[in-house]
Structure 1
Amino acid sequence: MISLALLTSLFASQLVAAQNPKYSIAQDFSGSKFFDGWTFTNGNDAKNYGNVAYLAKDVAMTQQLAYVNPAGNAIVKVDNTTVGSPQDAAYGRASVKMNSTQPFTKGSLVIMDALHFPYGCSVWPAYWSQGSPEDAWPQFGEIDIVENVNLAPINQMSLHTSQGCTLASDTQVTGKIVSNDCYNNTNGNQGCIIQMPDNSYGEAFARNGGGVYAVEWSSTGNGIRAWFFPRSSIPADMTSANPDPSTWGTPTAAWPESGCNSSKFFGPQTLIINISICGAYAGSASVFEATCPNQGTCLDLVRNPRNYDNAYFEISYVRIYSDGSTPTQSQSGASTATASRTQSGANATGTTGSSNGSIRNSAGLVSAVLAVVAGAWILA
């Protein structure tokens, strides 16, 4: 006869298993096939007023703005060789914006291992996701994973949604909660922001060997959670066939279901990687002065290619895992077209904390300036 204790133990083990789903690989962007699963925007950055010309895939690869280096890492970069014409007041430097050709869904774990994020005065990069179709934004949500501008060293993550998604101030995270309302019409679409730790972005991120960003959209009641691990503390199972977020400790950022029903506020998400220049956020006078003091104006820098030597992503891999709870297509390289909205709709996500030198000493002021200005330029 089975004892009550044994039944209780079996029930508890099943409950834990249900709460900690097993993830397996669904899409793998790495090595020589990294660029197989992306579509490239061909055109300008009109909605963000960015001084860039996004190139089609074949042109970007020919011009070495998107390629795999000898180490096997993907490089996505801004042109740093062409001298802009002084007569061209609207000069747009060549750059890249790429969207994953198939979305990830609830029940997914998205991991990026990067050695370098773009930085420098006038530089505005983003690694983010948005729901489709883009014209319905923010109905299907947006997740800003990495975004900031100029010389700011601290990344901030955020969500952007329709009305009703919030972040409780007592949510257990190792990051710093900056704002709580994810609704796009609140605080100029600042979003619900959580600030990452030092060395999570910019020159410091590169100097420390980069690191890993992992985002889980849980199918078992944990909402949306994210972890940032610097190179020296990446969990051993991160590159395994079945990474297990339940072993990674308190998340750096989290948006629990209790405040934001992710099934209601989010639809399948398209990953996006892009680098803009100046524009409504990085080029805003107050933001530029806060993160690039004594550098003139943002537009003063656009024509000088040397200003963009550090304006590149170096990515070891992006991998999307699924727990099987939602049907997904497998492997990178599928050809389902997805939405291509403008720069990470939040642009408030980049509400950075500070920058090097004197800016670091006024982190609170800079964070406030960036939050307000960035929020005011979220794309419609």
Structure 2
Amino acid sequence: MRTGYAFLVTLSLSLIQSASALFFLKDQWIGDDFFQGWNWETENDPTHGRVNYVSQAEAISKNLTYVEDDVFFMRADDWSFLNSSSRGRDSIRISSVNAYDDALFVLDLRHMPQGCSTWPAFWTLSQAGPWPNGGEIDIIEGVNLNTDNQATLHTTPMCMMPPDTLRHQAGRTITTNCDTSVNFNTGCGVSFPDSKPSYGMPFNIAGGGIFAALKWRFGIQVWFWPRDEAPPEVRDGVVKEEPLFPGFGWGSPAADFPVYPGFCDYDTHFNAHEMVFDLTFCGDWAGNAWAGSGCGGGTCENFVDNNPSAFAEAYWAINSLRVYTPLFPFP
């Protein structure tokens, strides 16, 4: 079985670096572009966070979202004390109008939300759904005072990942069963290497960086680079006429999720995905991890209610987001 795994992983990598992996710029968002092509969601948080997601109009009126020098900002309320009967602290959750099947997502991020009780994420999920049908890919995710990013898949049953020895990645495998119905929906996660500032305060002190996530039927990979280490084609972007070869010369991804029949068949578990940015507080992960977070005593919810100034760094600052798709769909 190990030999079969190794062969399939090697095959996947060779396909990624082949000339057939020719992608072109499909959509991009810089600055004010984010006010078009995105749904501003206001429903109750499905992860049970202490959060009040607001509409685009309310976010603009409260200065929770704005653009400066072509950088798009989304942030939490950092001035209000909350009544215990309120839904939670004002924040933002947006999802893309468009969905993508085979695609490369490249996010140039200057700053991500950080701090106690925070749970920010940039992720993709099936637009057709209902969740978890069609899968979920968490590209950026962490809680509280974490300093290493985690990438995770969440799927319907029968999607397993091989061990680290049979995966071409720089990160560390946390769990291997992607099925949402087991292990309290932890999914199959990979922690990024400590050697690069991929999350939270270290990421922000370093001035951010670039994430690239490749989603296609030959596998799902996520790369991260500090900005000055990123390949020029992702650091500077490309025009539509210039093709991009995902993974070619990029080195090992931080997280590698091989997909193949019998272990995690792509067509069974994944389809066209929309993108999501959100920032919640406490909830199913940050709240449950609160006791061991190093954030002090009391409850996570009380912290959110009574410490508005603690959320001064709870914001996204996005330089650009680009989506590339293949010239021809893969069979």
Q: State the TM-score, normalizing by the size of structure 1.
A: 0.75
Aligned-pair CA distance for 1:187 = 1.5
CA contact (8 A) 1:179 1:192 kept: yes
Q: Aligned residue for 2:151? A: 157
The one of 245, 249, 252 aligned to 1:250: 252
Q: Which has the larger radius of gyration?
A: 1
Distance 1:326 1:63, change over 3 A: farther
Distance 1:233 1:298, change over 3 A: same
Q: Aligned residue for 2:49? A: 50
1:35-61: CA deviations, max 9, x gaps?
21100112332x322111111111112
- Supply the RMSD in Å over aligned alpha carbons: 1.9
1:76-117: CA deviations, max 9, x gaps?
1111122324xx3445111101000011112x1101010111
Greater shift in the superposed pair: 267-276 or 294-303: 294-303
1:189-248: CA deviations, max 9, x gaps?
2111111123110000001111111011135x3x11110111231111112233322121
**Alignment partners' CA distance in 2, 1:200 and 1:109:** 19
Q: Aligned residue for 1:279? A: 283
The one of 322, 330, 350 aligned to 2:325: 322
Q: Aligned residue for 1:337? A: none
Counting only pairs closer than 5 Å after superposition, residues 59-78 of structure 1 correspond to structure 2 as 59-69=58-68, 71-78=69-76
CA contact (8 A) 1:34 1:317 kept: no
Q: Aligned residue for 2:122? A: 127
**Alignment partners' CA distance in 1, 2:295 and 2:34:** 37
Q: Aligned residue for 2:215? A: 217
**Alignment partners' CA distance in 2, 1:298 and 1:196:** 26
Aligned-pair CA distance for 1:289 = 2.1
CA contact (8 A) 2:17 2:248 kept: no
1:166 aligns with 2:170: no
Q: Aligned residue for 1:188? A: 184
Aligned-pair CA distance for 1:176 = 0.8
Structure 1 unaligned residues grouped into runs of 5+: 1-14, 328-380
**Alignment partners' CA distance in 2, 1:292 and 1:235:** 36
1:109 aligns with 2:104: yes
1:234 aligns with 2:230: yes
What letter is aligned with 1:311?
Answer: A
Aligned-pair CA distance for 1:19 = 4.6
Distance 1:317 1:300, change over 3 A: same
Counting only pairs closer than 5 Å after superposition, residues 196-215 of structure 1 correspond to structure 2 as 196-198=192-194, 199-215=197-213
CA contact (8 A) 1:29 1:35 kept: no
Aligned-pair CA distance for 1:17 = 8.3
Structure 2 unaligned residues grouped into runs of 5+: 1-14
1:307 aligns with 2:310: yes
Distance 1:62 1:110, change over 3 A: same
Counting only pairs closer than 5 Å after superposition, residues 137-156 of structure 1 correspond to structure 2 as 137-156=131-150
Aligned-pair CA distance for 1:181 = 1.2
Task: Count how many residue pairs are aligned between Structure 1 and Structure 2.
Answer: 303
**Alignment partners' CA distance in 1, 2:112 and 2:207:** 11
SS at match of 2:167: coil
1:95 aligns with 2:91: yes
SS at match of 1:217: strand
**Alignment partners' CA distance in 1, 2:253 and 2:131:** 27
Q: More strand per residue: 1 or 2?
A: 2
**Alignment partners' CA distance in 1, 2:42 and 2:48:** 15
Aligned-pair CA distance for 1:316 = 0.5
SS at match of 1:50: coil
**Alignment partners' CA distance in 2, 1:165 and 1:100:** 26
Aligned-pair CA distance for 1:34 = 2.3
SS at match of 1:301: helix
CA contact (8 A) 2:101 2:216 kept: no
Q: State the TM-score, normalizing by the size of structure 2.
A: 0.86
SS at match of 2:50: strand
**Alignment partners' CA distance in 2, 1:127 and 1:99:** 10
Identity %: 31
SS at match of 1:76: strand
**Alignment partners' CA distance in 2, 1:171 and 1:17:** 16
CA contact (8 A) 2:109 2:317 kept: yes
Distance 1:186 1:43, change over 3 A: closer
Aligned-pair CA distance for 1:295 = 4.0
**Alignment partners' CA distance in 2, 1:91 and 1:163:** 33
The one of 172, 178, 188 aligned to 2:174: 178
